[in-house]
């Protein structure tokens, strides 16, 4: 059952009808009037606040005496005489005819004895209702997929509900979120500003601290180099370093203190260029130690510092190029090679005689550092990686980043072993 809304009062407030069929494909619902006068009830049907509609027609209602012959283009509704006193009389001597507007003209009908009662616009098909007591209602579900894809709401473009389904237009609108209290918004704003200010302060402090430390390190280096001008190693610019390494094309190796590239000063002089890393706080101090110690050294068993670069934050050291690399490449497998010489051919094994010569050469280099220099030098980092081999496998001690200059005073006869962290090769 279904209750239809009505615009009348008294007996027509509620219209009870039977739902016979619902078609969700065509969006139609078919209702059946069981009692009463369906055409009369239709005149009082009010769907303004209902989701349903119908295909509307315009009708003109005439009141004719019973003596008037049947009108072929109209339909008689005897039940209309019982609707109210204004539409009939108690003697039931009046017939009512509903004429479909637009299909016939009143002037062409034999209505001499009839009286026009009312014009009805936008009402359902009374002829179908007269024949079967059936009324078809329509409803429309708008296509909101486009709006939903955009994350918006969907509604009819006009407030007027059109029964023509294909002509009803929809529109999208922005969904409004729940309003927050002003106090909450104010607190959120203050918190956001506080976080931004805190993060900004941390970033500024970090940048300032890093820049200050780097500038202080650079200032110490410049002061040291000003006092070092009289010594032999040459100072190169960063452009010179790029030119001699052919834009860092040939990489020889990489360690904790930096990366080594092969370079060329002239057609006959090859060099190894070490670009120092700035990843630790003592990078500037290591640079000063390296240049300060190696610039004083001239010995066959100590690698020669050809020059250096201190161009802004870029620091590099330029050495003689030793083609055989470090001793580590030859000593790591020497023991195993010696045990298996009869079964295996190990080309990296130098032989015990050559290793003895290398050990003696390293000892001479260390002796020179301790006793032969104008100022005693402690290397503090002797290991196979820091011993390079020349063409004839002459050993040369290198990497003086941890080296210390000591006084040659005769009173100083002992050095703390916690300070002297040298890892002896011999």
Catalytic residues: 381
Specify the pairing of strand 270-276 against strand 258-264.
antiparallel
Counting Cβ atoms within 10 Å, is residue 404 exposed (0-12), middle (13-18) or buried (19+)? middle
Strand stretches in 290-417, DSSP E: 305-311, 314-320, 376-378, 387-389, 395-397, 404-406
**Which among 394, 349, 214, 364 has a CA at the least distance from the CA of 287?**
214
Sequence-distant (6+) residues with CB within 8 A of 404 are 289, 377, 378, 380, 419
**DSSP 8-state symbol, 181:** P
Number of residues assigned to the chain: 426
- Token pair, residue 179, equals 């309003």
Contact yes or no for 396/303 (Cβ under 8 A): yes
Using CA atoms, how far apart are residues 80 and 41, in angstroms rounded to an integer? 9
Using CA atoms, how far apart are residues 408 and 188, in angstroms rounded to an integer? 69
* Cβ-defined contacts of 325-334 (< 8 Å, 24+): 325/252, 325/388, 325/389, 326/384, 326/385, 326/386, 326/387, 326/388, 326/389, 327/358, 327/384, 327/385, 327/387, 327/388, 327/389, 327/395, 328/383, 328/384, 328/385, 330/389, 331/355, 331/384, 332/384
Sequence-distant (6+) residues with CB within 8 A of 382 are 362, 366, 397, 422, 423, 424, 425
CA-to-CA dists, residue 176 to 152, 187, 191, angstroms = 9, 21, 24
Contact yes or no for 308/317 (Cβ under 8 A): yes
Using CA atoms, how far apart are residues 269 and 322, in angstroms rounded to an integer? 11
- Token pair, residue 207, equals 């940048």
Residue 192: its H or E element: helix 182-226
């Amino acid at each position: 059952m279904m209750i239809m809304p009505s615009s009348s009062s008294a007996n027509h407030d509620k219209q009870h009808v039977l739902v016979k069929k619902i078609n969700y494909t065509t969006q139609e619902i078919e209702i059946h009037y069981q009692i009463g006068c369906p055409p009369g009830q239709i005149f009082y049907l009010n769907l303004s606040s209902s989701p349903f509609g119908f295909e509307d027609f315009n009708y003109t209602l005439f009141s004719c005496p019973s003596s008037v012959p049947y009108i072929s283009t109209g339909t008689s509704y005897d039940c209309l005489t019982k609707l109210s006193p204004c539409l009939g009389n108690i003697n039931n001597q009046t017939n009512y005819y509903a004429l479909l507007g637009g299909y016939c003209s009143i002037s062409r009908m034999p209505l001499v004895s009839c009286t026009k009662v009312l014009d009805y616009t936008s009402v359902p098909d009374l002829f179908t209702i007269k024949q079967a007591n059936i009324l078809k209602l329509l409803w429309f579900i708008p296509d909101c997929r486009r709006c939903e894809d955009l994350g918006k709401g969907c509604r009819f473009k006009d407030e007027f509900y059109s029964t023509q389904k294909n002509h009803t237009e929809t529109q999208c609108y922005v969904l409004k979120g729940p309003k927050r209290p002003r106090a909450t918004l104010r607190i959120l704003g203050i918190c956001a500003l506080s976080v931004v200010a805190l993060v900004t302060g941390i970033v500024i402090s970090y940048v300032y601290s890093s820049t200050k430390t780097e500038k202080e390190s650079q200032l110490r280096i410049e002061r040291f180099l000003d006092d070092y001008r009289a010594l032999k190693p040459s100072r190169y610019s960063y452009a010179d370093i790029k030119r001699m390494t052919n834009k860092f094309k040939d990489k020889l190796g990489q360690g904790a203190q930096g990366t080594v590239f092969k370079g060329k000063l002239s057609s006959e002089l090859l060099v190894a260029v070490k670009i120092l890393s700035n990843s630790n706080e003592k990078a500037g101090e290591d640079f000063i130690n390296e240049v300060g110690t190696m610039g004083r050294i001239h010995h066959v068993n100590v690698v020669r510092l050809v020059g250096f670069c201190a161009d802004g934050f870029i620091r590099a050291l330029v050495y003689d190029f030793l083609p055989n690399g470090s001793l580590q490449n030859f000593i790591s497998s020497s023991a195993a090679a010696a045990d298996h010489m009869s079964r295996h051919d190990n080309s990296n094994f130098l032989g015990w005689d050559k290793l003895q010569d290398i050990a003696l050469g390293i000892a001479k280099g260390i002796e020179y550092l301790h006793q032969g220099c104008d100022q005693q030098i402690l290397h503090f980092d002797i290991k196979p990686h820091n011993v390079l081999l020349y063409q004839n496998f002459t050993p040369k001690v290198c990497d003086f980043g941890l080296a210390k200059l000591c006084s040659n005073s005769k009173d100083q006869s002992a050095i703390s072993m916690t300070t002297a962290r040298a890892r002896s090769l011999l």
